[in-house]
Homo-oligomer: A and B are copies of this chain.
Amino acid sequence: MIEQLQRLPGVGPKTAQRLALHILSRSEAEVEALAAALMEAKKQVGACKVCFHLSAEPVCEICQNPNRDRSTICVVKDSRDVIALEKTREYRGQYHVLGGVISPMDGIGPEQINVQPLVRRVTDGNNQEVILAIDPSVEGETTALYIAGLLKPFTRVTQIAFGLPMGGDLEYADEVTLARALEGRRELS
């Protein structure tokens, strides 16, 4: 059990042992309930057929919600990014989860992530804007540029702003971020 628990992210040998001892101290019924919950979730939760966000239904809640703007798609790397963006309560459009970023070094090309379904969504529907919200790493930027190239003939493609984080201090910002913030300056209206 300790060996299995250690494979979880952020769980080292000590934490695994603590978790294991805790589980052993619980009643058999309780342990069974935990094990069943894991299996149940794994069986039920899959990728939404439309946007590839994690979902217990074939089509996720966000895609089903009639109050959400269907003309805007926000493209992210994984479901955690959807959750992060939903927390801002600022975005009312739909999402598209790529499931990864293009990374030739790791053998991940555009075919290994959900790019084609995105192109199909954009060309089939009444899309008016695709917002690229992919982490600003080398792979992330490559992926954003690749997708922008594919989609620009069909729709407006924007990218979230990169720059100084809110509450951040110029003095403590790294040079790349500062240079990007300077380059990305905007006219004050």
Contacts and interface: CB of A to CB of B under 8 A. Distances in A.
A51 interface: no
B166 A177 contact: yes
Main secondary structure of the interface of A (DSSP, over half): mixed
B135 A188 contact: no
Interface in A38-82: 74, 76-77, 80-81
Contacts of A88: 175, 178-179, 182
Interface residues of A, number: 55
A161 B184 CA distance: 5
A184 B164 contact: no
A150 to B, nearest CB: 12
Interface string A107-141: 00000000000000000000000011111110000
A174 B161 CA distance: 14
A157 interface: yes
A167 B176 contact: yes
Contacts of A187: 156-158
A188 B153 CA distance: 12
Contacts of A83: 171
Interface string A65-105: 00000000010110011011101101100000000000000
Interface of A: 74, 76-77, 80-81, 83-85, 87-88, 90-91, 131-137, 144-145, 148, 152, 156-171, 173-188
7 contacts: A74-B182, A87-B175, A90-B178, A148-B188, A152-B188, A156-B187, A159-B186
